[in-house]
């Protein structure tokens, strides 16, 4: 759906811009020229008011002139700078909550054209620990948000709810040492906020420290994942309640939309189906959530 909206913005910007430009270059000059000839022939037969009305821009063209800067500005901002994103599920608890509205930085890794989403030029590297929005590999019309755990060439082992990372190494380089994403227990999560009271830990993922949730009542899934070149391995912070790379594999670099960097608004949605108002109407605002993302 997000990609369809990007295409809509490009199309509507092009249409309004071309209508306005076409009128300014071709029709307006002819109007003024014919008006000048008529004034020379019958200088006093046309009043100033009538002449102004005759030369007035058509309503449709005037609409395009007024709306083009708005459509074009939104298109540029959303396609190349920041795109809004809403958290739809709890897979990133406790870092992100349902009802968080994010800004995704589109230029963090590359600049892409907004229609075909082909890279125009690269602007940065995807780093371990980044929270990223990406197109789901099996349905690119769906956006997912997860945390980057494995970089191209890494070997990721998930065992006993712990991440073991063997970084990529070429034969010509000195290989970095394998390491564990160290976890420290910090208490229980809030059942009202996170849906259940489970164990909360801090996790050191490279240079990034963040919080994760682990459910002691759920068994541990194990697996080893060798990340292909040009792809990334991602996981949710809600480790026992996230459909991520452990289930469906890797994210190609071309599927990356951008880096989630800021929570600009956070709503509570606590209505029940039997309430008078619809469940999509917020019940409150979490102002303390507004700010940067770890």
Spatial separation of the C-alpha atoms in residues 234 and 163, rounded to whole Å? 12
For residue 155, is the peptide bond before it cis, meaning its omega torsion is within 30 degrees of 0?
no
Residue 99 zone, left/alpha/beta (φ > 0; ψ -120 to 50; rest): left
Give the chain's length: 294
65 is a catalytic site residue: no
Catalytic residue among 106, 146, 166, 259: 146
110 is a catalytic site residue: no
For 37-55, the three-class secondary structure string (H helix, E strand, C coil) is HHHHHCCCCCCHHHHHHHH
Spatial separation of the C-alpha atoms in residues 225 and 121, rounded to whole Å? 29
Catalytic residue among 79, 91, 108, 110: 91
Structure token pair of residue 135: 């197109």
Q: C-alpha distances in angstroms, 255 versus 16, 58, 75, 132, 151? A: 30, 43, 20, 10, 14
Instruction: End-to-end CA distance of the chain: give it in Å, rounded.
Output: 27
Known catalytic residues are: 91, 146
């Amino acid at each position: 759906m997000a990609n369809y909206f990007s295409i809509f913005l490009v199309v509507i910007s092009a249409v309004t811009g071309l209508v306005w430009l076409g009128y300014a270059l071709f029709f307006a000059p002819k109007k003024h020229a014919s008006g000048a000839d008529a004034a020379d022939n019958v200088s006093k037969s046309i009043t100033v008011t009538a002449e102004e009305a005759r030369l007035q821009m058509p309503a449709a063209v005037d609409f395009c002139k007024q709306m083009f800067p708005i459509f074009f500005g939104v298109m540029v901002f959303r396609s190349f700078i920041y795109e809004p994103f809403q958290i739809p599920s709890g897979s990133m608890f406790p870092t992100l909550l349902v009802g968080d509205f994010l800004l995704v930085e589109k230029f963090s890794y590359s600049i892409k054209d907004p229609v075909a989403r082909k890279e125009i030029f690269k602007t940065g590297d995807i780093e371990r620990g980044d929270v990223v929005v990406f197109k789901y590999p099996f349905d690119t019309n769906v956006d997912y948000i997860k945390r980057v755990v494995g970089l191209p060439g890494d070997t990721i082992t998930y065992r006993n709810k712990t991440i073991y990372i063997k970084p990529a190494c070429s034969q010509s380089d000195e290989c970095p040492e394998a390491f564990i994403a160290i976890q420290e227990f910090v208490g229980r999560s809030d059942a009202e906020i996170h849906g259940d009271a489970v164990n909360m830990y801090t996790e050191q993922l490279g240079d990034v420290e963040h919080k994760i949730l682990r459910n002691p009542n759920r068994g541990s899934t194990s697996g080893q994942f060798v990340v292909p070149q040009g792809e990334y391995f991602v996981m949710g912070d809600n480790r026992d309640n996230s459909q991520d790379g452990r289930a469906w594999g890797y994210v190609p670099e071309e599927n990356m939309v951008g880096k989630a960097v800021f929570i600009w608004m956070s709503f509570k949605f606590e209505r029940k189906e039997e309430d008078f108002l619809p469940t999509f109407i917020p019940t409150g605002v979490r102002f303390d959530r507004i700010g940067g993302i770890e």
